[in-house]
């Protein structure tokens, strides 16, 4: 097949500017994983249902499997790697710490997407009710935990973040 023309994408990911030439059909999720080697963003379903690929686009949680990388040109992305700039050597993000503490993960496949969903949620809802937490998580599938400990982890994280 003849090669499609490439587009130049300049995008800030976790505070760092990257520039790459990509085919327009490249999904943002694949761009992050294959072009930038940021494999913390997981890919489960590629039709917007599982939430594993959730990242922040200009501060808002979005599905990276439902955006083309070219569309991120000039925008700012934060992935799960962005929560711990030093790779977690010194300390985890309080939200991650709470997930560890409350057993909010088992296999961890869903966790990056859930964390990135929760970052803006907790900014908007510093004191969320259980109902609000469950609603916020409704767009993320977890096949291991049964969600119960995830809810507990969010409550714990909210508390830590409030008392800073």
Partner 1 sequence: MKPAAFDYHAPESLEEALALLNEYGYEAKLLAGGQSLIPTMNFRLARPAVLIDLNRIKELSYIEKNGSGLRLGAMTRQRALERSELVANHAPLLHETMPFIAHPQIRNRGTIGGNIAHADPASELPAVMWALDGYLKLQSAAGERRVAVQDFFVGMFTTDLEPEEMLTEIEIPAMFPRSGWAFREIARRHGDYALVGVAATVRLDEAGRCEDARLVFFSVGEGPVEAQLASDALIGELPGDALIETAAALAAEADIDPDGDIHASADYRRQLARVLARDTLRRAFERTK
Ligand X SMILES: Cc1cc2nc3c(=O)[nH]c(=O)nc-3n(C[C@H](O)[C@H](O)[C@H](O)COP(=O)(O)OP(=O)(O)OC[C@H]3O[C@@H](n4cnc5c(N)ncnc54)[C@H](O)[C@@H]3O)c2cc1C
Residues that bind ligand FES (CB under 6 A): 43-46, 48-53, 63, 65, 105-110, 142-145
Contact call for residue 49 and ligand X (CB under 6 A) = yes
Q: Give the CA diameter of the chain.
A: 58
43 binds, among partner 1, ligand X, ligand FES, none (CB under 5 to 8 A by kind): ligand FES
Residues 64 and 52 sit within 8 Å (Cβ to Cβ)? no
Contact call for residue 7 and partner 1 (CB under 8 A) = yes
Cα 63 from Cα 47, distance rounded (Å): 9
Contact call for residue 119 and partner 1 (CB under 8 A) = no
> For the chain, what percentages of helix, strand and coil (3-state, to nearest 5) are there?
40, 15, 45
Residues 41 and 109 sit within 8 Å (Cβ to Cβ)? no
Residue 50 CB, nearest approach to ligand FES (Å): 3
Residue recorded with tokens 């913390």: 40
Among 9, 13, 68, 149, binds partner 1 (CB under 8 A): 68
Other beta carbons within 10 Å of 148: 11
Which residues sit at the interface with partner 1, rule CB under 8 A? 1, 4, 7, 23-25, 27, 30, 46-48, 51, 54, 57, 60-63, 65-68, 70-71, 117, 121, 134-136, 138-139
Which residues sit at the interface with ligand X, rule CB under 6 A? 48-49
């Amino acid at each position: 097949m003849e090669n499609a023309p490439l587009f130049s994408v300049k995008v800030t990911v976790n505070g760092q500017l990257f520039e790459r030439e990509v085919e327009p059909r490249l999904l943002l999720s694949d761009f992050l994983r294959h072009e930038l080697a940021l494999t913390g963003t997981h890919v489960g379903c590629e039709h917007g249902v599982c939430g594993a690929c959730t990242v922040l686009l200009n501060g808002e949680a979005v599905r990276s499997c439902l955006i083309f990388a070219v569309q991120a040109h000039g925008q700012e992305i934060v992935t799960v790697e962005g929560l711990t700039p030093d790779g977690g050597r010194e300390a985890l993000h309080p939200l991650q710490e709470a997930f560890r503490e409350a057993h909010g993960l088992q296999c961890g496949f869903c966790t990056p997407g859930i964390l990135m969903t929760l970052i803006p949620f907790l900014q908007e809802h510093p004191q969320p009710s259980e109902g609000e937490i469950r609603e916020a998580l409704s767009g993320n599938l977890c096949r291991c935990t049964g969600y119960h400990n995830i809810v507990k982890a969010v409550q714990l994280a909210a508390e830590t973040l409030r008392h800073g």
